[in-house]
Amino acid sequence: MNPFDSAILSFVNSFAHRWFVLDATMALMVSNNLIKGGVITALIWWGWFRASAKQNENREILSCGVLCGFLSLFLARTLADVLPFRERPVHDAAAHFRLPYLTNESIIHWSSFPSDHATLFFALALSIFFVSRRAGIAAMCYAFFMVCLPRVYMGFHYPTDILAGAAIGVGTASLVKVARFRALVARPVMRWLEKSPGLFYTGFFLLTFQIAITFDSVRQIGRYLLEVAQALRHGAP
Residue 76: the pLDDT is 92
Q: How many domains does the chain have?
A: 1
Please state, in angstroms and rounded to a whole number, the distance separating the CA atoms of residues 52 and 99. 48
What confidence score (pLDDT) does residue 100 get?
Answer: 92
User: What are the respective helix, strand and coil percentages of the chain, to the nearest 5?
Assistant: 75, 0, 25
Distance, CA of 194 to CA of 59 (rounded, Å): 12
- Burial readout 21-38 (b: 16 or more C-beta within 10 A, e: otherwise): eebeebbebbeeeeebbb
Cα–Cα distances in Å, from 15 out to 28, 84, 182? 16, 30, 44
**What backbone phi and psi angles, to 5 degrees, belong to 3?**
-60, -35
Question: Which parts of the chain register pLDDT below 70?
Answer: 105-106, 236-237
Q: Provide the residue type at 174 as one letter.
A: S
pLDDT in tens, 28-62: 999 999 999 999 999 999 999 998 888 889 999 99
Domain that holds residue 37: 3-233
